[in-house]
Structure formats: C-alpha cells, structure tokens
Amino acid sequence: MTTANPENSTASHPSQCYCLNPDCQHPENPRDAVSCHSCGSELLLSDRYRAIHPLGQGGFGRTFRGVDESNPNHPDCAIKQFFPKHSSTTNQEKAAELFEQEAQRLKTLGHHSQIPQLLDYFSQDNRQYLVQEFIHGQNLAAELASVGPFSELKIRLLLRDLLPVLQFIHSHQVIHRDIKPENIIRRPGYGNLVLVDFGAAKFATETILERTGTVIGSAAYTAPEQVRGKAVFASDLYSLGVTCIHLLTQIPPFDLLDSHEDAWVWQDYLNGNRSISKPLAKILNTLLQRATKRRYQSAEAVLKDLNPSQRGSKVTQWLVASTVLIVGWAGIRYLVSPVTQQVSTRNPVVTNPIQEKSPTPSSTQTGGLFATINGQQQVFPLEHTQVATKITGNVSRVEVTQTFTNPFDHPLEAVYKFPLPDEAAVDDMEIQLDDRIIRGVIKKRQEAKQIYEKAKKAGKTAGLLEQERANVFTQSLANIKPGESIQVTIRYTDSLKFEGGDYEFAFPMVVAPRYTAGNSVGSAKAPTTNSVGSKHFSASSAKAPTTNKTLMTNVAYAAEVNPPIAPPGRSGHDIDVTVEIDAGVPISSVRSPSHPVTTQQTSSTVRVELADQETIPNKDLILRYQVAGADTQATVLTQADERGGHFATYLIPAIEYQQNEIVPKDVVFLVDTSGSQSGSPIVQSKELMRQFIQGLNPQDTFTIIDFANSTTQLSDKPLANTPQNRKKALNYINRLDANGGTELMNGIDTVLNFPAAPAGRLRSVVLLTDGLIGDDEQIIAEIRDRLKPGNRLYSFGVGSSTNRFLIERLAELGRGTAEVVPPNESAEVVAQEFFQEINNPVLTNIQVSWEGTGNAPEFYPQKVRDLFANQPLVVFGRKGDRTNGKLKISGTVAGGQPYETSLDVNFDEVRGNGAIAQLWGRARIKALMNQMYGRETPEVVEAVTDTALNYRLMSKYTSFVAVTEEIRVDSKDGKKVDVPVETPEGMDNQGTDTPSSGNTASVPEPDQIIGNLFTLLLLIVVFGIKPLKKVIIKIRS
C-alpha cells in the first residue's frame, strides 16, 4: 500500500467515487452519491472523507485516493482500510489495540516533512481507517522506468535524504519494514524524498503474522532476519541497500543475489560508464550484509561513512591555493602591465571572460554544477525549476520555485544568474527550509547586500535577490547545509503581449552568453564605407588601443550578465511549467511554437503544461492563444488603496485601414552576423530576409547592412524595388555567415548616419539580432538620443534565447514593433504578419488626457507610440485622490481623420486583478530607467528607489533579502560556487567558446612569462618540500 500516487495515477476521477465495503460487487458510484447503488453502504467516512479510486491492495488492507469534503477546497488524502484476512475474535481485539498504538505513533511521525502527515484515524463498520496526507509526485520505481539507472550522485543524494528519516523513525522505536522504490516518493519539482506506507496494518498485524509465518514487507527487499519475523532497525538499512543497487542497475533484486554463493553480485551489472567509487561500493556492501551483526547498526553510522572527514583535504587546499596564487599573480601582472601586444583573432566572441572550463560530465550525471571533489565528479546545486502561472484577462501572476541541493560535505553558497521578463513586477521572494518559510523583505540594494553578507559571515542561511539588468537577476543563497535542499520562490506580475489576434505569454529560461567588446561603446563617429561585400572596421572600432581600465569595465559587465556555461550534455537541471488561463470568454488556438505542450480545456479556462516535465531549460517558452471578441476590446481595471487609485487601460481601436493609403517605405535591414548567430539562428535570419525582400511593396526602396566586428552593406544608398535589385539582394543574403563579435554599435552608427529618406517616404529600420551584448543599455541610449523623429525601428529577436529587454526597448523607443521569432516559426508567416502591421499604422499622434475633478492621473507611458493593426493601447495610471473620471484617448487615423474615445475610470467599484498597483509601479520605474540609460542622475535614482520600496518591487537599486534567525553552519567551512547554465538551443559552440576581449587578444610580454614561472617555482618550493620529504621517508621505511 502507498499514500502517494504512482506516475500514472496523478489525476483524480471527479465523475465517480468508490464504495469501501470489501464484499461489494460493484463499488463504482457517481461522484456525489450518498450511499452505494450496489450494496447500500454509506460512501462518506466519518461524514467527511470520500474514496475516489483504489491505489493498492495487500493481504491486510487497501489504500484509496480520497478527498476531504469537509474542506471547501476538497483536498486530496490517502485512505487506508485495514481488515486482516485471519480475523478471529482474538486477532480482531489485538489488531484494534495495536491499531490505536500505531495511529498515535504515526501522528508523531507525521510531523516530519518527509513522512506523510496523519490527518485522522477512526473505526467504522467494524473496520479501522487511517487518513493521511496524499503525497503528490513520482515514486522511484516510476522514475527508474522513465529515466533509467541512477548515477552515483543520485544514490548519494538519496542516502543523504533518507537516512535522516530512518534515524528519526528509529529514534521513535518504529521500524518501517517495507522500504522499496515504490514507497519512496519524490515530490514534484525534484523536491525532497518522502518515505511512505507506514500502514497500521503492518504494525497492528505483526503478532498475527508471526503466528502464521507470513513475511512482513516485500520479499525482494526484505532482510533475512525479517523473514524470520525478527525485524530490527538494521533491517530497514538492508532494504535501503537493496533499493540502492536496484536503482543503480535496473535489475530485479533477486537477480543481483547469487543464491549458490549467498553473495551479492550487483557490481557485475555495472558497465564502465556507470562504475561506482570504492567508498560508495563499500557502504552499499555493508548495508547488504546478510548477517545482522556485520551490517550497519544505525542510520547515523551510514551517514558518518557517507560524509567522511576530509582526509587529504589539505592536499586539495594546497592545490587550490597554489592555483589561485598563480592565476592571481598572472592576472595582476597582466592588468598592471603598461604594454600588451595586440594580435588579431579570427572569431573574437566574448561569452564569459572570467569563466573557467568545467570538467566534462559522464552520461549519468545530474544536477547543475560540475566539480571535481577528491578526484570524483560531483554536481551542484540547482536541480529543478517549477513555474506556476495564473493568467486572468491579460495579466499573469507567476510563481517561480528554484530547488537547490548541496551534495557536498561542507556548507555552500550558490550564486545563480537567471532571466525574468524585463517588465515583470517582481514583488515577493521567500526561502523554504525544513518546515519553515522565511519571507524576504525589500531593501535598498546596498543595505540588502550588507544584511546578506553579515548573515553569511555569522553562519545563518540567507537569500539575496538582485537585479543586474531589467531581465537578468542574481539569486545568492548562503550557507546551505551539507545534504540539504532549499527552495527559493520568486513571484511576479506581468501583462501579456497582444499582436495579430494572439495573446502571448513568454517565460525566459536561460541567460545566454553575451558579447562584451574590448573597446568602449558610444562613439557617434560615422563608420567608413567600403565596396559591397567587404568587411571594414568602423571608426568606433578603430579607436585607441584598449586600456586596462576598459578591460576591467568590460569584465565587470560580463560578471553582471554572464553566468558560467555548463559542459556539453544534460546537466540534470530541468524545468516544469504550468499555465492556467482564465480569460472569462472562450479560448481557442492554444499553442506553443517553442515547446511541446499538453492542454486541458473547459468553456473559458485552459490548463497548459509542458509535455516533458524534465525539459532542459535552454530556450524561452512562448505560449500563444486567442479569445473570442479580441479584435475590438476596451477594458479598464482599477484598484484603490492608501497609495491612491490605480488603473490599467487596454484598448484595441476598431479602425479599418484603406490599402490605397499605404505610405511608401524606405527600408534599411540591419542583420546580426556575429558568432552567437551561428547555427540555426543565422539560417533563420537569412530565410526571414529572403521573405522580407520578396514582401516589399512596389513603391518601397531598401538596402541591407550586416554587422559583426565590422559592418558591410549591400549599397551606400537605398535601391529601388526592381527584379534586378531583389536578385542582387538575395545573392548578398545567401553569402552571409556568422562569426565575430556582436558589435551592434557599429551597425547602429551606420544606420543613424545613413542619408535621410526622401520626402514623403517613411524610413523604417528593421533589426534582426539575438541582442546578446553586454552594453545593451548604451545601445538603447543611442537610439533614444539619435534616432531621427521621422524614422521607425522594428526589431526581430532571432534565436532560442534572445535579449528581449533590448529587442523590445529599441522598438518602443524607435516607435516601431518588436517580435521574437522562435527557431521553428515559419519565416513566411512572420514576414506576412510584419508587412500587414507596418503597412497599417492605424492610429498616430496619440494623446491621453483626463476628464474629471482633482489633479490629473500620472500616466505611463507618458508618450504613447503609434498603434498598428491589431495592436492594443496599454496605459497605466495613478490618481492620488482616487476620484472618478474619464480617460480620453485621441489621435489621427491614417488618411488624416481624427479619432477620439472615452473610457470610464471608477475607483468605487474596484474590479480586476489585484496587481494593478504593482504594474503601475513597474511602468513608472521603466519610464524613469529609460531616461537614465547612459546618463544616470541622483534625482532619478532616488525616484526609482522610492517607487520600488513603496510598491515592494525589485529594481536596479532595490533587492530582496531573507535571513534565518539561528546560526546553522560554521561559516569558515563554506565554499562559493557560480551555477552554470545551459547553452541556448541551436547556438553553435562558436558562440560560447572562451572569448577574447573584443577585436584583440592580449599576449603577455616576456618579463611577465618569466615572472609567472618564477612564482610557480617559488610555490613548489614552499608547499612541496615537506610533502616530498614525507613521501621519501615513507618509501625508505
């Protein structure tokens, strides 16, 4: 029996319930039936519990999945029914007595987070019942069947997770007696393991079983003494050992025991790729000893051998110290050296200038970080990310839970960089350890950092959430105890994008490596122009040689946004996403162009999940759907509190556009051909360009500029849209390849210095890039300050993991549109939708004003960009006095006709999502930050900080920090690791190779090399003589 659901029984059956009378011939009944239609038995236990369907059955009872109908939420529960087959009067009385004792013990054990909680116990109709917490998740037998044999690391983690549980139950004089993979459940999201099936039948019938000679437990996992009816604490350890070797080999336990020799031969079933270290093999063989006295006698003894004292750690520390000193000395000499030689590099793609190469993992490793400890590869620490999203209307509420586990025998600090949407209003963070939840508080960034560092130094567990960019965050988690799992939960609110009739929910999954140039950016000098097809360096890249100060600045940029990259192969970190959509109207065309998904749909709600719950987080999730009546909508959501009245306005104007009013365009295509585009992105970019060229209107003109370290252009002036020029353009596109650094500023300079468009033509810049650069804020500032008023910039994100912050902000400031194109998206469809949009700017010169009493609200955005076909106008506002009024929206329809509409804003009848105030706060922060890119000022920094603190929001200047009250570890033993991330799907290794600095690589001078060698020799002398003497003495003796 089990209190947890197997993998194939994850869903309850709301259409039926089950009769618990063992003699009932037809136990299935309608869900709301009061009594059984077949035998007449009551279907509610204790007037509250209803059995839904059976989970398992043994010789002494049955287990059912049920619900507690006394609770309005009808939570799931596990119902255990006991009825011994040998049911004499004496046995019945003894069973009832022992049942009461066992129930009391389970009540105590149920307070442990890794044991199902006892909810109730009672007798009804002469049968005993236990009701326990229902454990959602997958048992290890199902996990073994789905993922294959466990690695050494997973076995070590299993032992470290379960041995303390056995230690706990044994201290309460309880022996489990039935440890096996089916009775070990992993909670969803790679959470803690839960030991289930403490059924009272086993304990209550122990005397009965001894009399009848029946074996307690599952035969394949049962200890020899338990077969004889004399179970001891070590019997559970034996069963745990058998469980481990079955998980390691995926071979039935009986086949792993040589009955002729009475010896375990499990190691014979391990091939070279799944070899087990001698220390772990010794532990398992001791657990498997057939003689009880030769076996471990306690879980504590196993843990002691599993986490031995670090003998030989001095040698490891010596090697680490030597390496640090050598690298440090070389680095210092490099940075202070007044002169470096500059040599050209073929592909200067910067991904992570401070990253060390990680060892290559074996095929059976799991986890997030690969490291070598005492010669063995191990993994740390991010195991799983769980994303739960609720969409109401066009607003999403998202909860992101990251599970970190420390598999080492010393405390660790994990530092993990991860993405979130750039306009997400992040308003909550908490850490969960043991049974406690510690909620984060919002502080000024420097203050939060000081609180975190003080707690870390004191040995307290602490979490710190910082924002590096609008869409890049750093989660630091200090003092994770050895073997401990900690969950960090982050919550945010965001509004959905709507274009082309589709709502779009996007969740970024990986921080892709970003290029950081060796030269500073921001030069406004015009680039040189050479003949078609020849690469040339722009003026900005031909400046003075890189200085040490510039290099240090760029390293700092890289450290902010570039996490280390995990080695090739599956790291073990996976992600599970669930999205619940409640649109209030029928939903249709639910799909994801990025991931396989499953859907469950009712009339107005849809639940969407990733089809693979062990998805590798190496590309962004994009989910799209449509709702009835979305083509013309006008919605106002309001919220009022002590901070004032807040509202969000959502309007899609019902305007038709005449084809004969399309304005001729002068189109400049700006194409990223840097190394990060290598692989599938450049293939997709070229196909998009072909479709764009073919889709131009007859009156349009065009040219193409591609950029990497340098820029190349099809022509020095726009070309007429003739068959000859289109053929010339297609040939140019076919010759494009991807290599070099992402010097986007070179391309921007070229475009901004391009000759002005002729009168009557609309200059449209179309940018295709992944946006993976470190100086994105400087690029945004350049477009904000230098893009001419009559120009528009449209941006396309190409790749599986793009910098949406840069792509969308450039389009917003450039008065255009932005779209991220997933790798499998049809280029033809994308091009058609794009031209439909830009050919139809339905409303221009938009003005937002207020009609009503009191001061006008504070609107964001303050300057509304033009609207294109099927594009909504979204405005957030705050009115301090909370007085009602009307929002007036006016503009000019293409062709010169005026447009005007009014929307009621009523704070008395507050309705809509409760996060409207947070979205207004985030919109204000966004507007203020747009002012400061490239020119930070104390006044605006203070305004951003105050807004973030008042609305409990993450920002560049505020952070969340959470700290335990008690000291949990010795901080002197702690180690710090940076969690690596996956390489984005489709990105070639060229895009993630160890970088150079921009266009140059530095070669040390001869005096540097001599100095480094001298340092190495000195280290060998200082640290090597004494160990060498010990070795010589040992050999001589």
Distance between CA atoms of residues 979 and 139, nearest Å: 28
Distance between CA atoms of residues 852 and 874, nearest Å: 20
Q: Parallel, antiparallel, or unpaired: how do β-strands 502-507 and 574-582 relate?
A: unpaired
Distance between CA atoms of residues 465 and 470, nearest Å: 13
Q: Parallel, antiparallel, or unpaired: how do β-strands 574-582 and 382-392 relate?
A: parallel
Distance between CA atoms of residues 165 and 172, nearest Å: 11
- Dihedral over alpha carbons 360, 362, 363, 365 (to 10 degrees): -100
**941-951 CB burial, b ≥16 within 10 A, e <16:** bebbbebbbeb
Distance between CA atoms of residues 349 and 352, nearest Å: 9
3-state DSSP assignment of residue 766: strand
Q: Is 80 annotated as a binding residue?
A: yes
Token pair for residue 902? 């009014």
Distance between CA atoms of residues 5 and 56, nearest Å: 10
Distance between CA atoms of residues 71 and 421, nearest Å: 37
- Quick check: 825 and 534 in contact, CB under 8 A? no
Please tell me which residue in 47, 68, 120, 178 is annotated as part of the active site.
Answer: 178
Distance between CA atoms of residues 962 and 964, nearest Å: 7
Among 591, 457, 529, which Cα is nearest to 715's?
A: 529
3-state DSSP assignment of residue 658: coil
Burial class of 970 by CB neighbour count within 10 A (0 to 12, 13 to 18, 19+): exposed
Catalytic-residue membership of 178: yes
Task: Give CA separation, 856 vs 899, 921, 979, in Å.
Answer: 21, 17, 48
Token pair for residue 613? 């719950």
Reported as half-sphere exposure (CB side, CA atoms, 13 A), residue 205 has a value of 25
Among 507, 498, 501, 500, which Cα is nearest to 424's?
A: 507
Could you tell me the sign of the dihedral formed by the alpha carbons of 805, 809, 810, 811, in that order?
Answer: positive
Burial class of 100 by CB neighbour count within 10 A (0 to 12, 13 to 18, 19+): middle
Distance between CA atoms of residues 190 and 574, nearest Å: 9
Task: Give CA separation, 539 vs 522, 527, 546, in Å.
Answer: 11, 5, 14
Angle 699-701-706 (CA atoms, 0-180°, nearest 5)? 155
Among 174, 164, 223, which Cα is nearest to 194's?
A: 164
Burial class of 539 by CB neighbour count within 10 A (0 to 12, 13 to 18, 19+): middle
Distance between CA atoms of residues 244 and 256, nearest Å: 12
Q: End-to-end CA distance of the chain: give it in Å, rounded.
A: 61
**β-pair partners for 818:** 795
Among 1021, 352, 274, which Cα is nearest to 676's?
A: 352
Among 8, 38, 6, 7, which Cα is nearest to 16's?
A: 38
Distance between CA atoms of residues 17 and 2, nearest Å: 19
Q: Parallel, antiparallel, or unpaired: how do β-strands 395-405 and 382-392 relate?
A: antiparallel
Based on its alpha-carbon atoms, the radius of gyration of the chain, rounded to whole angstroms, reads: 33
Going by the annotation, the residues of the binding site are 80
Residues with active-site annotation: 178
